[in-house]
Amino acid sequence: MQTWKLSADPQFIEKVRDIVGLYLAPPAKALVLCADEKSQIQALNRTAPCLPILPTTPARRTHDNVRNGTRSLFAALETGSGSVIAQPPRQHRHQEFIRFLKLIDDAVPNDLDLHLIVDNYATHKTPEVQKWLLRHPRFHLHFTPDQRLLDEPGRAVVRRAHQPQAPPLRPPRGHRARSRPA
C-alpha cells in the first residue's frame, strides 16, 4: 500500500492545476518559462591547473581551492526547447529580480506573452516587483504551492507519507552523546 502526504497550502489544487495546465496546454502566442534562483553559489578555483592525462598517469589536480566569494543565479528554462535565460547577479534582492525580468523581456519577442512559473520567494512579491509587473502586462507569474506549510520545510511538495525522516547529520546543539552500557 502506498500513501501520499500533500502540501497544506490552501490553494494547492488550484496552483498544481494551473502549472500542469501551462505545461500541457500552453496559451497561444505565449512562452512558458520555469524560473528559479539560487543564492550564495561559491565561486571556486583550483590553486593550480589540472595536469593532463599521460600514457601511464591519470589526470591530476590539487585538493584545495581558492574561494572567490559567492554569486547568485537567476535562470529561466523553456522546457520545450531546453533554452535558458540566465543572469548571475552579485546580490539576491528585488532589484536584481527586476533586472532579470528585463533580461527576459529583451530576449523574448514582443508578440509573445510570458508565463513564468516561480516559487514563493519573497522577492517575487515585493511592491516594487508588483509595480514593474503592472507596467509590463505580458508577464504573468504563476506560483508553486507554498512549501513553508509542509511539516518538513524544503522537502518535495508531495512525498510518500510512510517514508521515514532522514536522521540529522549531527546531533542538535546542546545534545551530548550518552555512552551505552556494554
Domain containing residue 143: CATH number: 3.30.420.10
Would 57 be classed as within a structural domain?
Answer: no
Residue 136, C-alpha cell as written in the block: 509590463
Would 60 be classed as within a structural domain?
Answer: no
- Residue 135, classified by CB atoms within 10 Å of its CB into exposed (0-12), middle (13-18) or buried (19+), is exposed
Residue pLDDT, tens place only, 93-137: 889 999 999 999 999 999 999 999 998 877 888 899 999 999 999
| pLDDT at residue 68 is higher than 70 | no
Helix ranges (H only) for 25-171 are 94-107, 127-135
Residue 107, C-alpha cell as written in the block: 530576449
Would 8 be classed as within a structural domain?
Answer: yes
**Average pLDDT across the chain, whole number:** 77
Q: Whole domain around residue 107: which residue ranges?
A: 4-38+66-160
Would 174 be classed as within a structural domain?
Answer: no
Would 54 be classed as within a structural domain?
Answer: no
Would 58 be classed as within a structural domain?
Answer: no
Which span out of 51-60, 107-116, 140-149 was modeled with the highest average pLDDT? Answer: 107-116
User: In the chain, how many domains are there?
Assistant: 1
- Global pTM reads 0.65
Would 145 be classed as within a structural domain?
Answer: yes
Regarding predicted confidence, which is higher, 47 or 15? Answer: 15
Residue 53 CB contacts under 8 Å (≥ 6 apart), including other chains: 59
| Integer Cα distance of 74 and 39 in angstroms | 9
Regarding predicted confidence, which is higher, 39 or 112? Answer: 112
Would 25 be classed as within a structural domain?
Answer: yes
Give the model's pLDDT for residue 6: 67
Give the model's pLDDT for residue 116: 93
| pLDDT at residue 170 is higher than 70 | no
Give the model's pLDDT for residue 182: 45
Give the model's pLDDT for residue 39: 74
